[in-house]
Structure 1
Amino acid sequence: MKCPDGIHVTAQGQVLVCGRYSRTVLQLDGEGRKKLATLATICDGLSRPQ
């Protein structure tokens, strides 16, 4: 991930992180250490998420 720019923890405990320059939104484990899923990328129309 390039330039992590935003983080959000959902009510269910999911950790979501935006990569501004990598243009991705990732879901991490509850401790924020392991990537569980790529939720969106530039291919989905993402442009510099924050």
Structure 2
Amino acid sequence: MRERHASGRVRQGVGEDFAKSVVRSIGSSLGRQIVRGMLGALLTGR
């Protein structure tokens, strides 16, 4: 069982926290590119 802070949030290791942050930023930028590409294709009528 993991330690809990006073706020009730489960404490994470620094590496785990960093990895989640990196994955989240990559996912959001990749998702944005995909959406932009799909919208561009729809609007240009390809």
TM-score normalised to structure 1 length: 0.22
TM-score normalised to structure 2 length: 0.22
Q: Please state which structure has a larger fraction of its residues in strand.
A: 1
Q: Please state which structure has a larger fraction of its residues in helix.
A: 2
Query: Relative contact order (alpha carbons < 8 A, sep ≥ 6): 1 or 2 greater?
Result: 1
